[in-house]
Amino acid sequence: MTDAEAVSQRLRTLYGRDPAGEVGVLHSIALWIDAAGESHALRIAPGCPQSDTDAFLLRAARMRAEAIITTGQILRDEPQLTHGESDRGLRAWRRDRVGLQASPRTVILTSGDQIDMKHPALGTEHRPMIITREEAVTPLQSAAHRAGVALEVIGREATSIRDTLALLRGQGHRTVLVEAGPTTAASLYDEPLRVDELLLAVYRGAVLAPQWIGPRFLNLNALEGAFQRHMPPTTVGESSGEWTFQRLLR
């Protein structure tokens, strides 16, 4: 079995099929459901439940994408974040099954100019893009120049996730992954829906400590109702507890 075939087989086990040939706007999020049925994003914090399966599926989603939208806040919360992939199997799967050679382009949505130009997410072979307010363009360009970082800074009148997504789709990116917190991503679920595929990871373990519970997201029933096709969920037991993984498709 080749490296790409091993990744494909694992994806079929978790999702029912290998999504390599499917394109569109992907949104990946890890949630916890409280006693009232409300969903909350899991915070990136010490001790918060982790899932090796969720990490694999997120990395596979990145390998399907031509561009990945994240935020300045996520870069501050995750100082080691990078969209580069070191795993040989996932790289082979991207090349042989998805049909993409270059690394995905990192696109950072921010309303201000507080970006660490030494952040590893900016050190990619495919020049990162920063989407920001028009008045923040010059300070960010100057900071990048001082740090010797090659990136593109685009000023927009509206620095929203929907505007950024429209910009990328207009540039010809067929598959875009959204890696943004619930506050930023929520507007994608307004009418008309802008997400083609929701990659849903739900932690089913014990009650969480308050510091691990992130902002409230959309009600799970509302999320499921927004999509026409629901792939069967897969339950995985991790050292942190039980998780379910599911693809919801338009």
Give me the domain span that covers residue 78: 66-174
> Do 70 and 169 fall within a single domain?
yes
Question: 72 burial class (0-12, 13-18, 19+ CB within 10 angstroms)?
Answer: buried
Say yes or no to pLDDT of 16 above 90.
yes
Evaluate whether residue 100 is within a structural domain. Answer: yes
> Do 169 and 98 fall within a single domain?
yes
Q: Residue 203: CA atoms inside 13 Å, Cβ hemisphere, count?
A: 27
Please choose, from the candidates 146, 136, 131, 185, the residue with its C-alpha nearest in 3D space to the C-alpha of residue 162: 185
Q: Residue 241 in 3-state DSSP?
A: strand
Say yes or no to pLDDT of 114 above 90.
no
Task: Tell me the percentage of the chain whose pLDDT exceeds 70.
Answer: 100
Evaluate whether residue 60 is within a structural domain. Answer: yes
> Do 56 and 85 fall within a single domain?
no
CA distance linking residue 122 with residue 143, whole number of Å: 13
Which tokens sit at 168?
């990328």
> Do 242 and 151 fall within a single domain?
no
> Do 99 and 44 fall within a single domain?
no
- Residue 208: what pLDDT? 84
Query: Residue 70's domain is classified under what CATH number?
Result: 3.40.430.10
Evaluate whether residue 211 is within a structural domain. Answer: yes
> Do 111 and 130 fall within a single domain?
yes
- Residue 35: what pLDDT? 82
Domain boundary among 115, 149, 174: 174
Evaluate whether residue 162 is within a structural domain. Answer: yes
> Do 127 and 152 fall within a single domain?
yes
Evaluate whether residue 18 is within a structural domain. Answer: no
Is the backbone peptide bond immediately before 192 cis, with ω within 30 degrees of 0? yes
Say yes or no to pLDDT of 112 above 90.
no
> Do 138 and 197 fall within a single domain?
no
> Do 232 and 198 fall within a single domain?
yes
- Residue 223: what pLDDT? 84
Tens of pLDDT, residues 117-168: 999 999 877 789 999 999 999 999 999 999 999 999 999 988 899 999 999 9
The torsion angles phi and psi of 114, rounded to 5 degrees, stand at -95, 70
Domain boundary among 174, 207, 234: 174
Q: What is the DSSP string of 151-199?
A: -EEEEES---HHHHHHHHHHTT-SEEEE---HHHHGGGGSSSP--SEEE
> Do 119 and 208 fall within a single domain?
no
Evaluate whether residue 14 is within a structural domain. Answer: no
> Do 125 and 89 fall within a single domain?
yes
Tens of pLDDT, residues 67-80: 999 999 999 989 99
- Residue 51: what pLDDT? 96
Domain count, the chain: 2
Evaluate whether residue 194 is within a structural domain. Answer: yes
More confident residue, 218 or 234: 234
Tens of pLDDT, residues 169-228: 999 999 999 999 899 999 999 999 999 999 999 999 877 888 999 899 988 888 888 899
> Do 90 and 169 fall within a single domain?
yes
Evaluate whether residue 10 is within a structural domain. Answer: no
